Amino acid sequence: MAYKKVETYDEDVTKGLMEGYRESLQLLGEDPDREGLLKTPERVAKAMQYLTQGYQMDAKAILESAKFNEKVSEMIIVKDIELYSMCEHHMLPFFGKAHIAYIPNGYITGLSKLARVVDVYSRRLQVQERLTEQILTAIKESLNPIGVAVVIEAKHLCMMMRGVQKQNSVTTTSAFWGEFEKAETRSEFTKLITSKLS
């Protein structure tokens, strides 16, 4: 039996993107009719739809789909959440990890939902600074917690492959709200995301 991969894409969007990528290949001096490039415009068109699928997702709906009433008042942290995004300035990838914490105020959400929120906003054309704030805002507005903290560490290919070409640079952004605006709480969060618990 032959292998068949089934994926769903918007046909009009795919067609429009394919035409653009085919023209781009020609403008770059390539032959889009060359064997190795025949299916490239279609592949890239589908890849871009996948990489920007966050535009069709609702972070608040995801968080509220697993919202539970719990009398928990301690810090909840999910750290080292992998993220992959696209820099909106050069449309080159940046990738790294997010660390999220919140202090509940009567409601908690499924832990996997926090990782999904990262995907919602990272699967868009982005800047890391805005991505950090969007994740915080979604949690704050959906769960009404006592505090939220988000830290993202990422490497940007627009800095590594072009421009300054700095291979080992890591960009860190942070956003704190509520209880995490207090130095003591923020310090506890920072300590926990940097420690190796055994």
| H-run or E-run covering 120 | helix 111-122
Q: Judging by beta carbons within 10 Å of its beta carbon (0-12, 13-18, 19+), is residue 117 exposed, middle or buried?
A: buried
Q: How far is CA 6 from CA 9, 20, 52, 57, 63, in A?
A: 10, 24, 19, 21, 28
Among 39, 42, 22, which Cα is nearest to 30's?
Answer: 22
Catalogue the active-site residues. 87-90, 128, 156, 158
Note the Cα 29 to chain centre separation in Å: 33
